[in-house]
Amino acid sequence: MKNTFGNNVCLTIFGESHGPAVGAVLDGLPAGLPVEEPFLALCMDKRRARGDGLSTARTEADVVHILSGVYHGHTTGTPITLEIQNQNTRSGDYEKTAQLLRPGHADYTAYAKYHGWQDARGGGHFSGRITAGLTAAGAICLSALQAKGISIATHLYRCAGIADTPFAGAAPQQLAQQMQKVQRCVGFPLIDTSVEASMQSEIRKAGAEGDSTGGILETAILGLPAGVGEPFFDSVESALAHMALSIPAVKGIEFGSGFAFADLLGSQANDPLRWENDHAVFYTNHNGGINGGISNGMPILFRTAIKPTPSIFKPQQTISWPDGGNAELQLQGRHDPCIAPRAAIVQTCAAAVAVCDLICAWHGSQWLCTDAPIL
């Protein structure tokens, strides 16, 4: 399905970095879900660059125009089309070095796939800019889930070599507090905000040297009922990984103990069950809230690896294309020295789309409704 995700809640995203607009079509949500434009604007704002040395100087207003599917502040049940215009484009930055393939970017693969027909300005369809549509669409899902008691938050688990406190593995109450703290963050999404200054300092330092840094994002989904997902190809892990690894710069994902499972014994890795207050309770959450591909009612926990922004301002060895021949590239333009802080809300919103799709596959889309029908 190429640029469409999901079977029940279907998201199609579109746009080029320097084209007229980027956006998304979100289909399959039920009618009657509130769409609050201030909440959309808040999510867009969390993703927005600030031109403060921590993110690119290309700052966009990112006003979300709703072209269809929303009426009187609620979904109508038909496809929701969101359009975000590109305004602050400086295509000239790219012209001088247009023939030199940027290492770490999709320039070479774009040629391999599109044979030169691609709109390469600003990375075209490969730009992180395309995540604006993903974020806006995901924000609608996020707010629908919130109304059903399902919250999602993503923090900077690690960035530029500095670690935040991790999400609590098992205790839903402590986790809820951590998530609320992250959701309130105006600047970097952190549980331990005391590390913000040193993180920013490291990012600025890399940027000042013409370099960039990576990070790890950790996402928690709290309140997802047990029983969502499929044993095989639509496992919760498969669906969330499919979505997360679509986000540019994400190069890995792990659930629960993830790669640390390799060195655990089964007796350490299994999550014991206990009966408390007439409910099943897991004492630990090494499985990240998923067993056999299906949610077990515990918080879903996953981390993604974010590679350093490939756009750096140090001289790089590359080739000229399509004519061939070696060259040295000195990039111009405006870039983020670290994309992880802005990617956090993208990951949250993207996960919200995947979770809505999984839930609707199981319970039907009406499950998401909270407001009483007009009729």
Which of positions 230-249 make contact with its own copies (CB under 8 A)?
230-235, 237-239, 241-243, 245-246, 248
Nearest alpha-carbon partner for 73 in 114, 108, 133, 32: 32
- Applying CB under 8 A, the site for its own copies has a residue count of 162
Stretch that binds its own copies, among 36-44, 53-61, 167-175, 206-214 (CB under 8 A): 206-214
Q: Is 213 in the site for its own copies (CB under 8 A)?
A: yes
**Half-sphere exposure (Cβ direction) of 129: Cα atoms closer than 13 Å:** 31
Instruction: Determine the Cα–Cα distance for residues 374 and 74; give it in Å rounded to an integer.
Output: 11
* Structural contact between residues 350 and 243, judged by C-beta atoms closer than 8 angstroms: yes
Shortest spacing between CB 72 and its own copies, in angstroms: 8
- Candidates 59, 63, 78, 97; binder of its own copies (CB under 8 A) is 78
Considering beta carbons, is residue 49 or 177 the nearer one to its own copies?
49
Radius of gyration over alpha carbons of the chain, in Å?
A: 21
Binding residues for its own copies restricted to 291-310, rule: CB under 8 A = 291-297, 303, 305-310
Shortest spacing between CB 177 and its own copies, in angstroms: 25
Dig out the tokens for 1 from the structure.
């399905």
Considering beta carbons, is residue 186 or 237 the nearer one to its own copies?
237
- Candidates 55, 81, 178, 183; binder of its own copies (CB under 8 A) is 81
Instruction: Determine the Cα–Cα distance for residues 346 and 69; give it in Å rounded to an integer.
Output: 22
- Candidates 57, 63, 76, 176; binder of its own copies (CB under 8 A) is 76
Considering beta carbons, is residue 38 or 373 the nearer one to its own copies?
373
Q: In a 3-state reduction of DSSP, which class is residue 186?
A: coil
* Structural contact between residues 22 and 16, judged by C-beta atoms closer than 8 angstroms: yes
| Site track for its own copies across 166-185, x = CB under 8 A | --------------------
Q: Is 105 in the site for its own copies (CB under 8 A)?
A: yes
- Candidates 200, 219, 287, 347; binder of its own copies (CB under 8 A) is 287
Binding residues for its own copies restricted to 20-49, rule: CB under 8 A = 20-23, 25, 27-28, 31-32
Dig out the tokens for 251 from the structure.
């190069």
User: How would DSSP label each residue in 52-91?
Assistant: SSSS-S------EEEEESEETTEE-SSPEEEEEE-----T
The Cα diameter of the chain in Å comes to 71
* Structural contact between residues 73 and 28, judged by C-beta atoms closer than 8 angstroms: no
Q: Is 1 exposed, middle or buried (0-12, 13-18, 19+ CB in 10 A)?
A: exposed
Stretch that binds its own copies, among 55-63, 105-113, 169-177, 187-195 (CB under 8 A): 105-113
Binding residues for its own copies restricted to 252-281, rule: CB under 8 A = 252-275, 278, 280
Q: Is 211 in the site for its own copies (CB under 8 A)?
A: yes
